[in-house]
Chain A
Amino acid sequence: MLKLLWTAPLSAKVGVLAILAYAFVALFAPLLAPYGETAIVGSSYELWSDKFVFGTDNIGRDMLTRLIYGARNTIGIAFLTVAIAFFVGGTLGMLAAILGGAYDMLIGRLVDILMAIPSLVFALLLLTVFGTSIPSLVLIIALLDSTRVFRIARSAAMNVVVMEFVEAARLRGEGMGWIIRKEVLPNITAPLLAEFGLRFCFVFLFIAALSFLGLGIQPPLADWGSMVRETATLINYNDITPLLPAIAIAGLTVAVNFVVDWMLHLSSGLRSDSH
C-alpha cells in the first residue's frame, strides 16, 4: 500500500495527507482544542488574537476549538450517514440486479417514487415529524441518499451479473451473500467509489442547507455546516471568519476527491491489465 502511494501522483499524495490530518484532528479533538467544546471563554465575535487564534463565535466560544470539534462531529456524522446509505442502497441495488423480476420492479418503483420528491423538502418534512436528533438526521439523510446509491449500484451490477463467472458461481450453488461479496462487489467498486467521494461531501452541504431552513444539528454540538450558516452574514462586512468552516469543508471535499480520482485511475488500470 505504501509502495503504491509512493508511485501516486502529487494530487493523491496531498489528498491522502490531508485526509490523515483531518482524521487526526477528529480523533484527538479534546487534546488539540485549547478550550472545551461548549465553554464560553470570551465575549462574542472577538477578533483574532494570541488568546483566540481565530477569534470567538457569536456567544463567545473559541472559534478554533469549535472548528476542531466540528471536524469530529461533521466527519463522524457524514461518514456514518454515507456508510449507511451505501450499505442499504448498495445491497438493495446489487440484489435487484441479481434477482431481477418482481423484486427489481418493486424496489425500483419505490426508489423512483422517493427520488421524485425533492430531497431537501422531503428531509424537511421528515425531520419535522421525527425531530432533529442526530440519529434521525443520520437515518433520514441516509435513506434519501441510498436511493441515489441504489440506482448506481444496480446499473453497474447489471453489467456484471451477465458475465460468465457469475453464472458459473450460481451454477456451483454459491449463496447470494457470497456472490455479492466475492463476484459483484469487487467489479463495481469504481462507480461506487466515485459516487462515495461526492456523496460524502454533499452530506455537509445538505446539513448546511437544512440549518439555513431552520433545521439541522442540535446545539451545542459544533458542526461546520451550521457554523457557516451562523456566521455567513459577516462575509457581507468583509469579515472572513465564515470562510474558515467553509474552507474546512472544501479542503476535505477536494482531498477526498483527489484520492477517489487516483483510486479510479488505479482500478481502471488494473482491470485493463488483467484482461
Chain B
Amino acid sequence: MSSLARIILQRLGLGLLTLFAVSLIIAFVVELLPGDITQAMLGQSATPETVAAFRKEIGLDRPAHIRYFEWLGGIFTGDLGQSLASKRDISEFVGTRLSNTLFLGGLAAAFAVPLALLLGLLAALYRNSIFDRIVNLTTLTSISFPEFFVAYILILFLSVKAGIFPGISNVSTNLAFGDQLFRTILPALTLTLVVLAHMLRMTRAAIINLLSSPYIEMAHLKGTRAFRVIVYHALPNAWGPIVNVIALNLAYLVVGVVVVEVVFVYPGLGQLLVDSVAKRDLPVVQACAIIFAAVYILLNLLADIVSIVSNPRLLHPR
C-alpha cells in the first residue's frame, strides 16, 4: 500500500473517532442546558402535567445514556433518527438544508478563492506599493466589521437603493437553478468579504516568504519576469500553507454562517442547528453537529493531502 493511501486511511479512522467524541460532547452539553424540549415547545403555557405527558410521549423520561446509545445504534445502521419535536425523519429535512448550505458556501468560495489568490499574488508581486497597501487596508477593514453589519450595508446599497438583488434569499426546493443562484448572490458576496482577507494575507505572506529563497533569486538572475517567477516557481511551493488556510475558510463557509443565514432568511443548516439548540431537539442538533464536524475533518484531510502531494518530503517527517 502506498504511504499516501495509508495516511488517508489512518486519518479517516481518526476522523470517525473524532465524530464519536463530538457526538458525546454534544449529548452531554445539551443535557446540561437548562430546560428541555417539552418546556421549550410549550413555552409560557407549560404546566407540570402537560410537560410530564409530553416527556413520556417522546421517551424523555428515560435516562440520558440509554437514549444516547439508542441513537448511536441507529447511526450505525444509517438511521439519523427523528426530530423529537416534529417526529419527522431527520435525513428527510436535513438533506435540503445541507444542499442549501453547500450551495451558498460553494458560491461564496467560487468568488472568494480565486479573488484571494489573484489579489494575494499581485500584492506579493507589488509588495509595499500603493496597490499592496490599499488591498491590505480594505481587506483588514472589511473583516473588522461584524458579518451582520456587512450584510446590512450590502442590502442597503445593492437591494434597497439600487434594487438589483432581492433583500432576502427566499429559496425553496422547486426553484429554477438560475433563480436560486440570483437569490443567493448577496449572501455569498457578504461571505466573500468576510473570508477574503484571511486567505489573501496568507497567500501574500507565503509567497513573500519564498521570494528570498536561493532558487527564486536564481530565477530572477536568469532574467525571468517577476510574474512568471511567482506563478511558476514560488506558487507551487507555497501551496502548503495557502491550501491550509483555504480549507479553514471553506470549512467556515459551511459551518460558520448562521448569522448570514439569519439576516438573509436563507434556510441553511446553521439556522436549523441554532433553532434545534433553542428547542433542545437533541437528535437534530446531533445530526447537524456531526455533518459540520465531518465537513471540517474532510476539508482538513484534503488540505493535508494537497500539501503532501505538492511537497512529498512531508510524507517522511523528520
Contacts and interface: CB of A to CB of B under 8 A. Distances in A.
A213 interface: yes
B6 interface: no
A49 interface: no
B141 A272 contact: no
Contact of B140 (A112, A116, A120, A257): A257
Range of interface residues on A (Cβ < 8 Å): 35 or more
A7 interface: no
B160 A117 contact: no
Interface stretch (A30-38, A72-80, A229-237): A229-237
Nearest to A202: B143
Contacts of A118: 255-256, 270, 273, 289, 292
B22 interface: yes
A121 interface: yes
Contacts of A236: 152, 155-156, 160
B42 interface: no
Contacts of A228: 146, 149
Given A113-B25, A212-B262, A257-B140, A125 B148 contact: no
Contacts of B289: 117-118, 121
Nearest to A272: B212
Interface stretch (A21-29, A58-66, A82-90, A248-256): A248-256
Given A117-B289, A118-B292, A209-B146, A124 B141 contact: no
B141 A116 contact: no
A162 B317 CA distance: 11
A124 B277 contact: yes
Range of interface residues on B (Cβ < 8 Å): 35 or more
B133 interface: yes
Contact of A209 (B17, B18, B19, B259): B259
A86 to B, nearest CB: 18
A213 to B, nearest CB: 7
A257 B14 CA distance: 36
Contacts, number: 125
B274 interface: yes
B12 interface: no
B175 interface: no
B293 interface: yes
Interface in B245-281: 255-256, 258-259, 262, 270, 273-274, 277
Nearest to B295: A116
Nearest to A194: B205
Interface in A96-125: 109, 112-113, 115-121, 124-125
Contacts of B214: none
Contacts of B292: 116-118, 121
Contact of B146 (A112, A194, A225): A225
Contacts of A208: 146, 148-149
Given A117-B293, A236-B155, A253-B143, A162 B277 contact: no
B145 interface: yes
Interface in A202-258: 204-205, 208-209, 212-213, 225, 228-229, 232-233, 235-236, 242, 246, 249-250, 252-254, 257
B160 A121 contact: no
A115 to B, nearest CB: 7
B33 A112 contact: no
A168 interface: no
A128 B273 CA distance: 15
Given A116-B293, A212-B146, A250-B145, A121 B152 contact: no
Nearest to A124: B277
B297 A116 contact: yes
Interface in B262-318: 262, 270, 273-274, 277, 289, 292-293, 296-297, 318
Interface of A: 11, 109, 112-113, 115-121, 124-126, 128-129, 162, 194, 198, 201, 204-205, 208-209, 212-213, 225, 228-229, 232-233, 235-236, 242, 246, 249-250, 252-254, 257, 261, 272
Interface of B: 14, 17-19, 21-22, 25-26, 29-30, 32-34, 133, 136-137, 140-141, 143-149, 152-153, 155-156, 160, 198, 205, 212, 255-256, 258-259, 262, 270, 273-274, 277, 289, 292-293, 296-297, 318
19 contacts: A11-B133, A113-B18, A113-B21, A121-B273, A124-B274, A205-B146, A208-B146, A208-B149, A209-B147, A213-B258, A225-B146, A228-B149, A229-B146, A232-B152, A236-B156, A250-B140, A250-B141, A252-B144, A272-B212
Closest 8 CB pairs of A and B: A253-B144, A116-B293, A208-B146, A250-B144, A118-B255, A113-B21, A129-B32, A116-B296
Given A113-B21, A205-B146, A208-B146, 8 more contacts: A112-B18, A112-B297, A117-B289, A118-B256, A121-B289, A235-B152, A249-B145, A254-B144
